[in-house]
Each structure stands twice: as C-alpha cells, then as structure tokens.
Amino acid sequence: MKINGRLIVFTLILIALQTICKLLFAPRLEWSGFSPFIAIALFSGFIMKERNMSFLLPLLALFISDAIIHVLYLNNQFDFAGLYAGQWKNYLILLACTLIGWILKGRSYPGIAIAGIAAPTVYFLVSNFMVWQATTEAVYAKSFSGLMTCYEAALPFYRNSLIATLLFLPVILLLYNYLTRKKAVLTLS
C-alpha cells in the first residue's frame, strides 16, 4: 500500500475514532468493550500487503488512545489508567485479530461477516482465559466451573465488542474505499 495524504488522514480518523469511543464508552460499564479497535485490526490485516506493517495501524490506534486516557487519568480527569501492567496481553491478542484479517482478506461479504464475528470471539475467549488463569485472588476458582464463571461475567463486554466490530468494520471499509478509490463499496478488491 502506498502511503499518501489520504491514507494519513484516514489513519488519523481511525485514531480519533478509537480515542473518542474509549472516552465515551469505557467508563460506562454497560458500554464497556464498545470500541473500533478489533475492526481496525481486521481492516489492517485486510489491506496491508506488508504483513509486518499491518500490525502498526491497530497498535498505533490503541496505544495513542491509551496514552491519552492515561494522561487524563494522571490529571484526575478520567476514572482509570490508560496504561497498566499486563496490558501487553491485550495488544498481543489484538495482533491475533490482525492475523484473522490476513486470512480472510475482506474480499467478499461472507469473509467480512466471518471476520467480524471470529475476531471478537477469539479476543473474548483468549483474553478471559488469561484473566481466569492469572487471577491470584479467589475471584474465579481454578476449575472448569471457575473458567465458565469468568466467561459468563465477561459476556456484556463480548456483546459490546461484537456489535462494535460488526458496526465499525463496514464503516471503516466504506470510508477507506471512498477516500482512496472514490467508490462507496464495502468489499476490497
């Protein structure tokens, strides 16, 4: 992919979208998880020909939004830290979502739909498995029942990330195609 002014503007729009969603939705438990970051990761896997570069866009969008949240937190203007110990795990799982984008490429409606469901599901399963595994307190028992309790507690986050991905992914694809190709199409060619 050739870097040009339109692509830079598009990247800035995605970073702003990620940051705004995090500012608006993350503090509200009923909206927590509603974010475009998985859609951005899928999109990056869809369009980037240089695989090592495909990691940059989702990581950049998430890191910048986390850094802004952290600055606000340090100035007592946000409820929780944007940067915290163990956060690297979220970034790593995000890269797995980019891999799903590589595999499915977004060239067909079924491929886009499968990616839009698969990536949030993988994120949910892996991240909550890690939460269950890392819990040192007696929050979740170290048993199959404890793991299922952990997954059950995270279902609202999964619902929100699934809805957000299925909403933001087509919007991102349409915006990208319009800005770079002057065509309002959903699939990538």
Q: What is the pLDDT of residues 80-116, one digit of tens each?
A: 999 988 889 999 999 999 999 999 887 888 999 999 9
**Per-residue pLDDT at 107:** 80
Q: Say yes or no to pLDDT of 137 above 80.
A: no
Q: Tell me the two tokens of residue 30.
A: 């009923």
Average model confidence (pLDDT) across the chain: 89
Better-scored residue on pLDDT, 117 or 50: 117
SS (H, E, C) the chain: CCCCHHHHHHHHHHHHHHHHHHHHHCCCHHHCCCCCHHHHHHHHHHHCCCHHHHCHHHHHHHHHHHHHHHHHHHCCCCCCCCCCCCCHHHHHHHHHHHHHHHHHCCCCHHHHHHHHHHHHHHHHHHHHHHHHHHCCCCCCCCCHHHHHHHHHHCHHHHHHHHHHHHHHHHHHHHHHHHHHHCCCCCCCC
**Residue 189: pLDDT above 60?**
no
